[in-house]
Amino acid sequence: MIAISQELADFTGKHAGVLISQASMRLFLQQQPGELGFAKEKLRLTDEEISAVAGLVTSKREYSQAFLMNGKRGNGVLTISVSGLEYWTATSDPANDEGPRRDALRASGGDPWRALKLLCETDAP
């Protein structure tokens, strides 16, 4: 089972607590400072692990650092690079992205797949 949320506090309550405490693999992206106390308490993270999560960096349209806890295999920080395809299919930044999306749809005659290809070719992150 995979459970995903943008905020760790979403995993409150009896069943959610069991879910996160029993997870064999955990992946953290950059967190708001207020989430770190919850993570430390509910997931029993060490000070070193909390420090690693607190230090994660995201560079919009380029990469995100993540902290992977992979059970007995170990823990560590990794970098997830973002391609144009990934960016344009997952972005939720209307202030910066709606204009280029509309332009690409117009240029592609309304074909969303062709518009996506245009966005990836002309505005790769």
Q: Where are the alpha helices (DSSP H) in the chain?
A: 14-22, 33-43, 47-54, 84-90, 94-107, 112-122
pLDDT tens sequence across 62-114: 899 999 988 889 999 999 998 888 889 888 888 889 999 999 999 999 999 99
Predicted TM-score (pTM) above 0.85: no
Average pLDDT over all residues of the chain: 86
Write down the domain spans for the chain: 8-81, 84-122
pLDDT at 78: 95
pLDDT at 115: 95
pLDDT band at 1 (very low <50, low <70, confident <90, very high): low
The percent of residues above 90 in pLDDT, for the chain, comes to 41
User: Where on the phi/psi map is residue 109: left (φ > 0), alpha (ψ -120 to 50), or beta?
Assistant: left
pLDDT band at 125 (very low <50, low <70, confident <90, very high): very low
Residue pair 43/20 in contact (Cβ under 8 Å)? The answer is: yes
Q: Are strands 26-28 and 75-81 parallel, antiparallel or unpaired?
A: unpaired
Q: Find the range with the poorest average confidence among 11-20, 51-60, 62-71, 78-87.
A: 11-20
